[in-house]
Structure 1
């Protein structure tokens, strides 16, 4: 059985939409986000690609800092 398609459905794109993140942030957090990553929280919450890029950068920085701490710890305790 075929379903009749309404004219309004012809231009509709299929797929899914990831909704905007609901973030609570202060003006200081906004300034820090701009200075560290060059984007604000509004764009960060809207664009998945931007979020992923920033989170990958944060992950790299975290790993780098953990390696520095481990190196310093080895120097102090050897």
Structure 2
């Protein structure tokens, strides 16, 4: 947790703003991965 998001689990669970920040970043990373997968799929056909 600390290495990936720059905070410990306790801080993540105790501060709503930090939790929202991490979850927003995770969602952005997930959307980027979907775009990359779609690009790869399109280019492989």
The aligned residue for residue 11 of structure 2 is 43
Could you say which structure has the larger radius of gyration?
1
C-alpha displacement at 1:47, in angstroms? Answer: 0.3
Q: How many positions carry a matched residue from both structures? A: 45
C-alpha displacement at 1:72, in angstroms? Answer: 0.2
Moved over 2 A (4+): none
For structure 1, list consecutive stretches of 5 or more residues without a partner in the other structure.
1-32
Using structure 1 for the length normalisation, give the TM-score. 0.56
RMSD over aligned CA atoms reads 0.5
Relative to its length, the structure with more helix (as a share) is 2
